Copies of this chain bind each other. A is one copy, B any other.
Amino acid sequence: MARNSLTPQITENIIEYAKANGMGEGDRLPLQMLADAFRVSRAPIMGALKNLEAQGIVRSEPNRGFFLAVDAQVMDASKPIGSGDADGNEDVYFRMADDRLSGALPDKVSENELMRMYDLPRTRLLKILHRIADEGWIERLPGNGWAFTQALTSRKSYEDGYAFRAVIEQQAMLLPTFEPNPEGFKRARETQSNLRDGGYEAWSRAEIFKANNEFHEMLVACSQNEFFLDAIRRINRLRRLIEYRITIDRTRLPRQTNEHLHILDLIEDGRRNEAAAFLYTHILGAGRIKTPQA
């Protein structure tokens, strides 16, 4: 009857925050600071900290506040209790994507049909549908019902998407406002190196995909232009759904990783034009070889 609590998400966020800032045992965790960082009030922070205290990750002193009970690095990376799904809708969302890609969902559906199919109350269903509409693979019909677009299922959309990405990323790099971000570059180098040194087999498909996306979004972010970044984020959200279903070709990863590192090298050498051109063919190359279903 009431909304989903923020507490579980905040709990995770605090752990992330502590890690990202390299905090150690005994470091202080002021409520207001965390509240500002996550753009919420002190109330949900309080709840999360009490949670963490119960897990032994944090300890509190009366009237003095909360302190880390362990070094941030030590903390369990695997998500705590009921998490990974701030919303509770993520699984249905993925099921719908799967059903759509496998052809189980017709081009046109009514809300009530979907409610029955996925056993959801209307409110939740609508939330998901709006998200999907925002991603562009479904649209509201003028009267009743929703129609799936071809964005996910057609070969042409897939190729158009790569053409779009190639252009956006290349051009973002050529913008006069482009400014390499040393911190971002450093982290990207680390990730790509880790991937090269053993990650190929060990990492999960999702992890590899995520690393790849973060690399490209980091590059575009350097353009300092929100519109370019937004466009890339948008298309990457779509890509995720499709690429998950493609058997990953791990033999291509070494080359991809080397190309990523090469791009960073070129930029740091001040050879931006070369980097942009290389990035362009890098993306188109990735799109040309993989083969999506249907």
Query: Which of A's residues lie within 8 Å of B, judged by CB?
Result: 6, 9, 38-41, 44, 130, 134, 136, 141-143, 147, 151, 157, 160-161, 163-164, 167-168, 171, 175, 177, 225-228, 230-231, 235
Contact = CB atoms under 8 A, between A and B. Distances in A.
A225 B162 CA distance: 11
In the complex this chain forms, how many copies of it are found? Answer: 2
Contacts of A44: 143
Q: Which of A38, A164, A225 has the most C-beta atoms of chain B within 10 angstroms of its own C-beta?
A: A164
19 contacts: A39-B141, A39-B143, A39-B147, A40-B142, A40-B143, A41-B143, A136-B230, A160-B177, A160-B225, A160-B226, A160-B227, A161-B227, A163-B177, A163-B227, A164-B227, A164-B228, A167-B168, A227-B235, A231-B231
A225 B6 contact: no
B235 A142 contact: no
Given A39-B143, A164-B225, 11 more contacts: A6-B143, A39-B142, A40-B141, A130-B130, A151-B226, A160-B227, A163-B227, A164-B227, A164-B228, A164-B231, A167-B171
A157 B175 CA distance: 14
A197 B266 CA distance: 52
Contacts of A175: 163, 167
A142 B225 contact: no
A230 B171 CA distance: 18
A142 B6 contact: yes
Summarize A's interface: helix, strand, loop or mixed.
Answer: helix
Contact of A9 (B41, B142, B227, B230): B142
A282 B147 CA distance: 37
Contacts of A134: 134
* 10 nearest A-B pairs in the assembled complex, by CB-CB distance: A164-B227, A40-B143, A160-B225, A167-B171, A40-B142, A231-B231, A39-B141, A160-B227, A6-B142, A134-B134
Contacts of A6: 142-143
A134 B234 CA distance: 11
A233 to B, nearest CB: 11
Nearest to A224: B160
A196 to B, nearest CB: 31
B41 A163 contact: no
Contacts of A168: 167
Contacts of A39: 141-143, 147
